[in-house]
Amino acid sequence: MVIRHLLLSFALAAICAGPVLSNELRAPEEVLSDLIEKNESSYLTQSEQNIMMMPDNAALWLADEGKALFYEQRGPNNVSLETCDLGKGPGVLEGAYVELPRYFADTGRVMDLESRLVYCLTTIQGFADDDPTVSTRHGSSSDMMKLQTFIAAQSSGYAWNPPMEHPLEKAMRDAGEVLFYRRAGTSDFSCGTCHAATGKRIRASVLPDINRPEEWTKAISWPAYRVGQQNVRSSQHRVRGCYWQMRQPESIAGSDAAIALMSYWTDAARGQPSILPDKKR
Amino acid sequence: MKTKPHTPALLAALLTMAAAGSASADSADGGAPDYTAMSPQALAEYLIFEAGGFDLDAPTQEGGTARDRMVQDEIQQICTELKLSGKPLDRATAARISALADESMKYPEKGIALGDWKKGEQIARSGYGFRIGHRNDDHAAEEPGGNCYACHQLDPNEVAYGTVGPSLAGYGSLRGTSDAMLKHTYDILYNAHLYFPCTNMPRFGYHGTLTEQQISDVMAYLLAPDSPVNQQPPATAER
């Protein structure tokens, strides 16, 4: 079984590597328990049940399916995605996701995982924009979620490290910060209303604080299986959901506004290990 | 619905765009400005209003479009800038915000009175209303709520309460129901920036997200002596 194989290699890596470094593949449940051990955070510990179920996370199955899709010859061009460059060279997946969003010279844009995948699916495999492989962005049964979960899992345990060398990366991150704190709409909310203080709750749910990288890493560790929705969800799905709850307009996937926001929120978790795939309420 | 002026930040973004547009002819799609030449604020406004970041043409429950929701009024703008600056609230800014809130106040023609606390409780518990985008809340099917419990403790026997705002358990029993207290409570529900400049609390009266009647019902839930908010919790080992 590929999952068992994956877990075995995580276990072997853990045994062989000795002291844990921030840049090696680690099983998500191990990353989380390590974070909990080192940090006092009611956000990280809020669901004992979810923590217990991490090794049986349904998102691990999706990562398996995504792996098969990634290496399969598909689309009008009948080629695999092995030449897809996610920022660290064609086909290099390990540690690639924690360095997104980043600037890509071939498009002249800062791109997140989802927009980069769309680019690879359309330019390499030749899928049309309205092909369900490209256009269906949400739900565990979508190719998009399978591929995103597989690719992201190849960074589990790696420290978030979005590059800021290119001026556009910095510009997008800074605009994302403005978007994060920008109050608007009929409820006067911004992302900062809920995510700029530690240990606060909405109803019974503990909120993650963007000012605490050690808990914010879990907040941005998408894809994650959302127990309440029984689906694996993406970063973009979280952004859309937050704007919906804030009573503000629908965020458009792949737009520079969405990518800027992700640039800021990824930068805020810099240095902390990713938990991929994660499991959330 | 109120009409809101375009913000200076938006104007700045448009001006920067115009300036950058002529300079950056090498961009992929020709018309896009040079993001690196814009201030973070100007770029954010551009990404929202000009670069397809949001579905701005969607209809809203109050009758406008989603675009109107993204245009900041002065209080939203000042409080955003303050937060981004990292500075504490200074007296001059506090006075400006409070004055803007004061100008916005409108009072019921028949005076401020307590409504029905049972209806107020439903409003305090309900988070329905005004959501737009991939799924619009249908106000014909269900009345919007105030979602007070998302952020506040109210009935001391309710365990699922938020802590973004202060606890309001025992609100009325601690304060009484004088005319001054009724007005104070009404003011906070209508536009809390009057007393708490740059508060996180939504302006329910100002935005019209709660009706005059709903505000008086929520006030009853907070202040009426027989409301659950003002009952003592049963003594248990846990407490």
CB atoms A171 and B159 under 8 Å: no
Q: Name chain A contacts of B202, Cβ cutoff 8 Å.
A: 186-189
Average of per-residue pLDDT across B92-112: 98
Check whether domain A2-280 has CATH 2.60.40.1180, yes or no:
no
**In the predicted model, is pLDDT for residue B235 greater than 70?**
no
Q: Name chain A contacts of B58, Cβ cutoff 8 Å.
A: 249-250
Percent of chain B with pLDDT over 70: 85
Greatest Cα-to-Cα distance within chain B, rounded to the nearest angstrom: 73
CB A123 within 8 A of CB A129: no
CB A84 within 8 A of CB A104: no
CB atoms A201 and B159 under 8 Å: no
CATH number of B110-230, picked from 3.40.50.720, 1.10.760.10, 1.10.340.70, 3.90.190.20: 1.10.760.10
CB atoms B84 and A181 under 8 Å: yes
Q: Which chain B residue shows the shortest CA-CA distance from A106?
A: B28
Cβ atoms < 10 Å from Cβ of A230: 9
Q: Per residue of chain A (281 residues), what is the pLDDT tens digit?
A: 445 455 545 554 544 444 444 789 999 999 999 999 999 999 999 999 999 999 999 999 999 999 999 999 999 999 999 999 999 999 999 999 999 999 999 999 999 999 999 999 999 999 999 999 999 999 999 999 999 999 999 999 999 999 999 999 999 999 999 999 999 999 999 999 999 999 999 999 999 999 999 999 999 999 999 999 999 999 999 999 999 999 999 999 999 999 999 999 999 999 999 999 999 99
Take residue A143 and report the two structure tokens written for it. 């190719």
Rounded Cα distance between A149 and A144, Å, is 8
Q: What's the whole-number average pLDDT of chain B? A: 90
Strands A278-280 and A102-104: unpaired
Band (B16; pLDDT cuts 50, 70, 90): very low
Token pair 């004088």: residue: B178
**DSSP letter string over B153-202?**
--STT------SS---TTHHHHH---HHHHHHHHHHHHHGGGTSTT-SS-
Q: Name chain B contacts of A191, Cβ cutoff 8 Å.
A: none
Residue A242 bears catalytic tag: yes
CB A149 within 8 A of CB A140: no
Answer yes or no: is the ipTM higher than 0.95: no
Top residue of A46, A166, A170, A178 to mutate, by most chain B CBs within 10 Å, is A178
Q: Which pLDDT score is estimated for B13? A: 47
Q: How many CB pairs under 8 A join A and B?
A: 164
Q: Which pLDDT score is estimated for B2? A: 42
pLDDT digit string, tens, across residues A230-246: 999 999 999 999 999 99
CB atoms B66 and A107 under 8 Å: no
Strands A224-226 and A231-233: antiparallel
Q: What is the DSSP letter of A79?
A: B
Rounded Cα distance between A30 and A121, Å, is 32
Q: Which pLDDT score is estimated for B176? A: 97
Please tell me which of the candidates A183, A204, A247 has its beta carbon nearest to residue B76. Answer: A183
CB A90 within 8 A of CB A83: yes
Lowest mean pLDDT among A2-11, B33-42, B103-112, B189-198: A2-11
Over the Cα atoms of chain A, what is R_g?
A: 18
Q: Which chain B residue shows the shortest CA-CA distance from A248?
A: B69
CB atoms B47 and A188 under 8 Å: no
CB atoms A251 and B53 under 8 Å: yes
Average of per-residue pLDDT across B67-73: 98
Band (B19; pLDDT cuts 50, 70, 90): very low
Please tell me which of the candidates A188, A202, A250 has its beta carbon nearest to residue B162. Answer: A202
Please tell me which of the candidates B72, B134, B201 has its beta carbon nearest to residue A184. Answer: B72
Q: Which pLDDT score is estimated for B40? A: 98
Q: Name chain A contacts of B66, Cβ cutoff 8 Å.
A: 248-250
Sheet bearing A231-233, strands edge to edge: A231-233, A224-226, A278-280
Helical H runs in chain A? 2-17, 28-38, 48-53, 59-71, 113-123, 132-135, 143-153, 167-181, 191-195, 213-219, 235-245, 256-267
Token pair 């200074």: residue: B90
Rounded Cα distance between A137 and A255, Å, is 14
Band (B6; pLDDT cuts 50, 70, 90): very low
